Amino acid sequence: MSNQKLVIVTGGARGIGAATAKLFAKHGYAVCINYKSNTVAANNVVKEIKSLGGNCISQKADVSNEEEVLRLFNNVDRELGKVSVLVNNAGILKQQSRLEKMSADRINLILNNNVTSYFLCCREAVKRMSTEHQGSGGVIINVSSAAARSGAPNEYVDYAASKGAIDTLTKGLSLEVAGEGIRVNGVRPGFIYTDMHADGGEPERIARLKSKIPMGRDGMPKEVAEAIYWLASEKSSFSTGSFLDLAGGL
């Protein structure tokens, strides 16, 4: 098996995930792009990386499902080797709504997809990275959101709460595995130009809010990817349990 470093990017078929996968490949990593349903988009990212000489595979898996997470990591073990970096990026957003109109089904769906998935993937990564399990260490980067700080009132309180949980997971896990060769950090993007806003029912949401952003513009997926890569690199070797806010000053 190759000694090439390996990154798994969940939700890697579009937006921040796709930009992150491409950037790690550019820096010589083998890449596994995990996706839930958009096979065409995932394959397009794989083709682009391979066309530039990169080593890349895609793996379809619903990472909120324990059996599918186990299959994902076992397939990566077999095809590429042990994971060096995990980027937890998969997540969903539902239609904008006040809390009083949210059903239990919606709330549980958000929490399962946005929180349980991170816990399961972190668990499997730790089993492979930890020096307590004969691993050689590694890095976990959890993609949170500026919504964890703002609460996203009148729009996505459920999504914001799920990202608040990810911040707590990041801090707690970082302390749990700090002595086992694993660093755990987070990024909190906000107002990034991706397709996710359409999932919430307002594709032009950033245009509406742009005047409130101190920097006066939206952010791009590549800018978040650069922050993720820095946190995964040796340039941040003394950082764990930390967060980078990427929301133009908000």
- Measured CA to CA, the distance from residue 130 to residue 184 in angstroms comes to 12
Structure token pair of residue 195: 């397709």
**Over 90: is that where the pLDDT of 126 sits?**
yes
Give the pLDDT confidence of 144-173 residue by residue, as tens digits.
Answer: 999 999 999 999 999 999 999 999 999 999
Cβ atoms of 92 and 156 within 8 Å: the answer is no
**Over 60: is that where the pLDDT of 1 sits?**
no
- Measured CA to CA, the distance from residue 216 to residue 224 in angstroms comes to 17
Q: Per the residue annotation, which of 29, 156, 159, 229 is the catalytic one?
A: 159
Confidence (pTM) = 0.96
- Which pLDDT belongs to residue 198? 59
Give the pLDDT confidence of 165-221 residue by residue, as tens digits.
Answer: 999 999 999 999 999 999 999 999 999 987 765 566 677 777 777 888 999 989 999
Strands 30-35 and 85-88: unpaired
- Which pLDDT belongs to residue 211? 83
Structure token pair of residue 243: 């967060």
The mean per-residue pLDDT over the stretch 70-94 comes to 97
159 catalytic, yes or no? yes
- Which pLDDT belongs to residue 209? 79
97: β partners = 156
Sign of CA dihedral 136, 237, 177, 229: negative
Structure token pair of residue 163: 């990202």
For residue 127, give the nearest of 187, 173, 186 by alpha carbon: 173
Within 8 A by CB and 6+ apart from 171, the residues are 241
- Measured CA to CA, the distance from residue 58 to residue 45 in angstroms comes to 9
